[in-house]
Amino acid sequence: MAIGMNWDQVRRLIEEVAETQGYELVDVELKGGGRNSVLRIFIDKPEGISHQDCGLVSEQVGTVLDVEDSIPFAYTLEVSSPGLDRKLVREADYTRFEGKLARIQTRIPLNNQKVFRGRLRGFHDRKVRLDLLKGIELEIPLDVIQDARLEFDWNDEKSRRLK
């Protein structure tokens, strides 16, 4: 992180602005360096995110960060929806998206592998329950998860369109 920047404070300010406007802050990323720095904010709401939503949050976050002088260098601000491969960040995400297809990558191997794909079956005792596509249920400790994302489920989408 850049010298003179309090990342926790920046994240807190962004979360406060997003939640005040009725959005869920999914994730915040700061990528690049110098003039190429990009601050990416991912927001969501149950009915989905529009361009207007992104514009509103961008304008408000930009103003708050400028007033607070929270980021001591030039950056590009991008606000978007989390997309079809939504990142799973909070413990509650694993319960909220129970039944959905997900891809989880661990920092250390579990059963001689690091990437798992299956249906989320909730969260219990600091472990994510994942029903692997082979019919095996696996519990993955939260502290070994490096990256977890929803995956687009073509079969689920096809069955919903046929109804």
CA angle, corner 134, sides to 137 and 123, nearest 5?
25
Tens-digit pLDDT string for the chain (163 aa): 455 578 889 999 999 999 999 999 999 999 988 778 999 999 999 888 999 999 999 999 999 999 988 888 889 999 999 988 899 988 999 999 999 999 999 999 998 999 999 999 999 999 999 999 777 899 999 999 999 999 987 776 666 666 6
The per-residue DSSP string of 147-159 comes to EEEE---HHHHHH
Q: Are 37 and 73 in contact (CB under 8 A)?
A: yes
Stated pTM of the model? 0.78
Q: Residue 159: its pLDDT value, please?
A: 65
Q: Hey, what domains does the chain have and what are their CATH numbers? A: 7-80 (3.30.300.70), 91-162 (2.30.30.180)
Query: How far is Cα 37 from Cα 119, in angstroms, rounded to an integer?
Result: 36
Answer whether 113's CB lies under 8 Å from 125's CB. no
92 DSSP 8-state letter: H
Give the pLDDT score at 72.
84
pLDDT value at residue 134: 73
